[in-house]
Chain A
């Protein structure tokens, strides 16, 4: 098979080719150290503060789209075939400020200024997608940007006002869209890219079948999709991830569709890429989805990765297990299907063989009589890892609970169903008493840990209360509001 050994992309409108790219070379270090584009800052190197936000334009099935990402945990190899835009690219001729920049200056949206380039980039992406956003839309777009000085008020005001300073249609990324698209198309060769030193090898398969083959060749390779977890293995734990197979560019893993009574989600689809479909068919997941990390991470992280890495506190497994989701695992040309709940064996141990990868997720859609809920509790409402997360699916027919799946995250070493609580409900008449019994049964299902996110007692009590919340929310007798408004 044809191969190439350099990473090719467009950086601020200029073609770039970099050879011998290590698997663990981050985009941020490349930008700051190799290119001395120092406007992009490192604040945390773990994708939480957003000071390193840049835009990555990528050719998807439906054309070129730009998304804000965290350059600190994004690997350089993963921008192959993309257009990377940094804050240095915003000002116009003669240093004329970009509308986003002008709005930030005039609304006093900067104090120390260190987080500012990251905010500017997130707001730039928002303005292109939603030129006149509401405050809520701004807040959602800024979940991945921390500011310690301003208290955000002037930044929100600036964000809402950007369109007064200019229209996105006149923006460079729109006026140059066709030209950039053509240049990015020219970079797509349908070839496998292999680069980097032997001890830090970096492989970009040409398509999904090639990925399956690569993984047979390197069965112990690190699979890197969005890098929102693997990125931290490098930046925080200094782990060697080589050889690494990068799959974020594989459109073949990104398809999301409704097929019959199920949603089929490619394992490489980012949270953002499947958000609309999920919210349309599973409305209870709409607000939940907005609380997964911040925008940059939602743009990078994939459901496949969230599942495959087997974290006990991943946001998607509990809600997907509750829906009865299955996954397809593939090795070479061989595929097998598995209930998602059975994939998680123990802490750090999943039912995935060497050479095997998660290819897709199948989510059955709710049937008549199904009541669904997804709840997440965290110390901070947005961009936080859950203390407790739960997916609840209860089937009620003629007032009787005929079926039930309740899956918790944060309560055990793996995402896990609350079997005893479920048993307390199944076959019973819908009532407060049976939910009280289910809540009591939870203490038989789980013995949660105490850590910095929550104590064991709090985890248990709030988990029990989430069952009570579910009852109150779905009970006809409830009149007063049960949950804090989401915005």
Chain B
């Protein structure tokens, strides 16, 4: 039979986000929109107003007298273990017992009839403490002798000292890179509903339902099987809801069980930003040796991070900074050390790129240093140092780079963006323009895909085919806007050859798929798509066996056609075929599973293959700065990004565009500012400025490298897309740097610090004008 029709929502086609219509009508439910049972209570956190102190006691009598208050929760109310540290280091209490470790640290919770009553009452506590000296940033923490929050990592290959000592050229420098708040539009929220026995159901907005489940169980002192965590969707996550929701889930669960009523907790934006972690700020010391042509001979780097008071995910975050400190460049001799510093600030956490961007930007600073020292176009220095063939293909962690496509990708972008021509024009323009100066930069990214915690690289899915032919799809990943559910459903639609509309994508719940990993590390589709496919294949195998037997045909004569199944010479509608299978007692449900092959990692040795593959991309940005005020504008950005064989090009493009703008925000207007008392003063959109529509490049050309295919056997040969394009924003930062450099005739590396706010740009301009 000739195939004339195709299914809707097939793999590799553009398909709207499965919730798009609900988004625009306002019908998409977020946790705060879920109706709660009658009698529901509301919890709110009471926090510290000092950065570091010995906690002597908390007088909550006025809190308890406040109108509407039902009670309070303190460390004494924790029925199980007073700890929510995601890596099991036992360094992060729900509520502290004897030490205040940062300004804004949650100390207790108020539970009241309304959220407003709880919020007002939380202000009435009298906290008795003895102030201790504090250290807010990694440098002062090191000076004060603060410890690491977790074991540091060292990556080493070759012989660094001799190579540095013998260097033709050698530059040492320091770079400060700021952190970033996630500024998901939907803040943290959890709603817990008590059940019989130890049971509790928690609706929340987490990227990691299994961890929330395990944490609630741990805090409540009950087995994991008593706790159900549900997530329909998040209003943005970006890493900020990987571990940070645990606190809110634990508090809601404790209160729900204590009063046997449903309890919801939702901090306001200020508390969300002050009490939950962010991207790590880094101070990076580098020492680089290079030849006269600009080829790197050796790199020695120390990456000190503001981790905050506890480890949280700082171990893997600072590890990933080292994993990406090479970006796309081969370092013949290299030594990289992390310094995950304890500080008296909120404990920093995952954020899109997970330390990788801070590594990549250090590599790009090194490239800049070499370019200005040798008087070359930075792009030439970049290309001269790209990973190459044998002998130039091993990373600092001893993984071979087997899939490098940067030569082709960068060349293509260089052409389509007319980089060389525009750079010449810009240099000419700058000579005649005294106030406004332009800059242009083309920067690459190579990003390693897989959790570096190897055991996280597993996933499960549950697929039911009901006897009416409708399909229920559930997997362990969570939907935060990235379109994961859409893509996984496309995989299922394609495998069954049924229309997308036949598939119902349901909320993520720990009841259906256990022991899931966080939807993080860009891995959502890679892992859950494969797990779902595995489930479908199990069902299909049974269906084929059934058909072969029933129609007495060869298994090869059973074919899934669009919304139909061919059995020998007969073609049945999918529904009819399924009904037949059901009547024949075929199991129409399967749990799928997947684990990423090939990867292994020995952290002690600093060697292995932590990444299954790499994703690549490049961006070319042009900016204009005002040398009187430091204000700037992004004139144009061209992007060429590699997502392998895209499962859904339009959604992938959306990820690339959004990630670029977010990366640009990190390096431009998004500034975290603590005062001397350790109080974060940029704690809401009024003071913390993420990009607006008018900040995006005046001309924005985004393309996927449609010729790329993953050489590894990933889901339909696609590649992960969540994080890698975030680092394309670095092109804006580098372009700003070039514009600054113009005021000293490109003789000096501007050593711009991040974020390059108008203030930092103007101050760098002033410095270069003086220093030349």
Interface residues of A (CB under 8 A from B): 32, 36-46, 48-49, 51, 86-88, 90-91, 95, 97, 100-101, 104-106, 108-117, 120, 138-140, 142-143, 145-156, 235-236, 238, 377-385, 387, 451-455, 457-458, 461-462, 465-466, 468-469, 472, 480-485, 487
Contact = CB atoms under 8 A, between A and B. Distances in A.
A110 B235 contact: no
Given A46-B686, A108-B651, A115-B235, 15 more contacts: A45-B269, A104-B23, A112-B235, A113-B233, A117-B23, A150-B657, A151-B659, A151-B696, A153-B657, A379-B759, A381-B695, A453-B687, A461-B766, A465-B762, A485-B633
23 contacts: A38-B26, A38-B32, A41-B235, A43-B187, A44-B685, A45-B268, A87-B25, A105-B20, A109-B24, A111-B482, A149-B236, A151-B658, A151-B696, A152-B691, A238-B120, A379-B671, A381-B692, A387-B758, A452-B673, A452-B675, A452-B681, A483-B626, A484-B626
B661 A480 contact: no
A238 B120 CA distance: 7
Interface string B251-274: 000000000000000001110000
A484 B685 contact: no
Contacts of A41: 30, 32, 185-186, 235
B551 to A, nearest CB: 42
Contact of B658 (A37, A142, A149, A481): A149
A48 B24 contact: no
List the 8 closest pairs (A to B, CB-CB), nearest first. A39-B26, A114-B235, A112-B481, A113-B23, A151-B661, A111-B481, A48-B685, A380-B689
Interface of B: 16-17, 19-30, 32-33, 35, 119-120, 123, 182-187, 233-238, 268-270, 432-436, 480-483, 624, 626, 628-633, 650-651, 654, 657-662, 669, 671, 673, 675, 681-682, 684-687, 689-696, 700, 702, 757-759, 762-763, 766
Nearest to B655: A111
Contact of A148 (B238, B624, B671): B238
Given A43-B185, A108-B16, A146-B692, A484 B25 contact: no
A150 to B, nearest CB: 5
Nearest to B266: A42
A116 to B, nearest CB: 4
Contacts of A36: 35
A106 B24 CA distance: 11
Contacts of A381: 631, 633, 692, 694-695
B658 A484 contact: no
A452 B671 contact: yes
Contacts of B16: 105-106, 108
Given A97-B24, A105-B20, A112-B186, A146 B654 contact: no
A143 B694 contact: yes
A46 B683 CA distance: 12
B629 A466 contact: yes
A377 B758 CA distance: 9
B758 A110 contact: no
A139 B693 contact: yes
Contacts of B238: 148
A150 B17 CA distance: 12
A43 B681 contact: no
A142 B694 CA distance: 8
Nearest to B432: A480
B24 A120 contact: yes
Residue among B30, B35, B662, B685 with the highest chain A CB neighbour number at 10 A:
B685
A142 to B, nearest CB: 5
A46 B685 contact: yes
B235 A142 contact: no
Given A117-B26, A458-B762, A462-B628, A139 B235 contact: no
Contacts of A97: 21, 24-25
A484 B481 contact: no
Nearest to A102: B24
Contacts of B694: 139-140, 142-143, 381-382, 487
B723 to A, nearest CB: 14
B621 to A, nearest CB: 13
Residue among B629, B685, B691 with the highest chain A CB neighbour number at 10 A:
B629
A385 B682 CA distance: 12
Nearest to B688: A452
B742 to A, nearest CB: 14
A45 B272 CA distance: 12
A16 B231 CA distance: 35
A110 B236 CA distance: 11
A134 B150 CA distance: 52
